[in-house]
Amino acid sequence: MNKIPIIAVCGPTASGKTSLSVELAKKLGAEIVSCDSMQIYLNMNIGTAKPTQEEMQGIPHYMIDFCRPEVNFSVNEYVETAEKVIEDIHKRGKRVILCGGTGLYLDTLLRGNTKSPNVPGNIRAELEGLGNEELWELLCKVDAESACNTHINNRKRVIRALEIYRGTGKTKSYWDSISREAESKYFCTMLGLDYKDREILYRRINSRCDIMFETGLVDEVKSLNLNPDSTAGQAIGYKEVLDFINGKIDLEGAKEIVKKATRRYAKRQLTWFRKEKDIHWLYPDADGDILNSALKIIKDNEKRMQ
């Protein structure tokens, strides 16, 4: 099987993935495919840290800004669309760089098997009547791994994990492990960004959150008319601002909650990516010239493919 060589730049939020991806793309003649579950949404720019035209530096970016916020876009839909984009870039003789921190999207794309087991429709109907906390507690009891990787308010994913378990007798984590055994159509060099001094990462996160509010996050949320129960409405930054708009919390409280939630999300991202045995970690606060380090890793790794 002739595999398509791709590069994946992953890691926690605010770690510098966009900047490194763009610099690599300029050096390698590559185009960038986003692997971020929130940057897909139209007009959700500030809160998702969507790259600006200036930050893109003329490098084509795909899989951003194409889905309406009221649509709950699934991982399978992401993979089906991204595969076509990657194939087109490859056919045009360009390199492909995946950039993003949504581990589930990246993992499912790379493993080559996105088919979920079929389950009876009545199971979902039974689960829909339960509250978020009750659903979450049920998932923790039967599939702790999936629960750990799913936010309590991500009702759609929690219900999906529970209906898989009830419909097949096996956990979603089990089916995910089967998926990982599938033959991938890609040869991927995975580059992970992290900081030896975790406080530096947290300061970057806090600074990014401050800038989001300073540059108009509240006005952006007001303009979107988000459904609080939608996937987009549950996104970090948007959920908290909606609570502020609806009078549930004050603005300073919203800012602090966003910072705290983002730091927690970064920890979950690192936990996810640490499971990847083939990832090459780069530390901007310790490694110095990470661009040239990344280029060497890519060159050395792709020699094995030849």
Predicted confidence at residue 174, as pLDDT, reads 84
CA nearest to 43, candidates 18, 61, 70: 70
Greater model confidence, 99 or 136: 99
Position 123 confidence tier, pLDDT thresholds 50, 70, 90: confident
Greater model confidence, 160 or 95: 95
Predicted confidence at residue 181, as pLDDT, reads 62
Q: What is the pLDDT of the chain when averaged over all its residues?
A: 91
Predicted confidence at residue 304, as pLDDT, reads 80
SS3 82: helix
Q: Name the percent of the chain lying above pLDDT 70.
A: 96
Mean pLDDT computed over 46-63: 97
Greater model confidence, 196 or 180: 196
pLDDT of residue 283 exceeding 60: yes
Position 150 confidence tier, pLDDT thresholds 50, 70, 90: confident
pLDDT of residue 1 exceeding 80: no
Do residues 195 and 285 make contact, with C-beta atoms less than 8 angstroms apart?
yes
What are the residues whose beta carbons fall under 8 Å from the beta carbon of 77, sequence distance 6 or more? none
Predicted confidence at residue 74, as pLDDT, reads 83
Mean pLDDT computed over 225-240: 92
Longest C-alpha distance within the chain, in Å?
60
Do residues 135 and 124 make contact, with C-beta atoms less than 8 angstroms apart?
no
The residue type at 121: G
Position 180 confidence tier, pLDDT thresholds 50, 70, 90: low
SS3 4: strand
Position 113 confidence tier, pLDDT thresholds 50, 70, 90: low
Predicted confidence at residue 217, as pLDDT, reads 98
The vertex-206 CA angle with 204 and 210, nearest 5°, equals 115
Do residues 94 and 249 make contact, with C-beta atoms less than 8 angstroms apart?
no
Predicted confidence at residue 182, as pLDDT, reads 63
pLDDT of residue 93 exceeding 80: yes
Cα distance from N-terminal residue to C-terminal residue, the chain: 13
Alpha-carbon Rg for the chain, nearest whole angstrom, is: 19
Position 35 confidence tier, pLDDT thresholds 50, 70, 90: very high
Sheet with 61-62, strands from edge to edge, namely 61-62, 30-34, 95-99, 4-10, 186-193, 280-282
Mean pLDDT computed over 133-141: 90
pLDDT in tens, 166-179: 888 889 888 777 76
In total, the chain counts a number of residues equal to 306
pLDDT of residue 115 exceeding 60: no
Distance from C-alpha of 40 to C-alpha of 109, rounded to nearest angstrom: 16
Greater model confidence, 132 or 13: 13
Position 30 confidence tier, pLDDT thresholds 50, 70, 90: very high
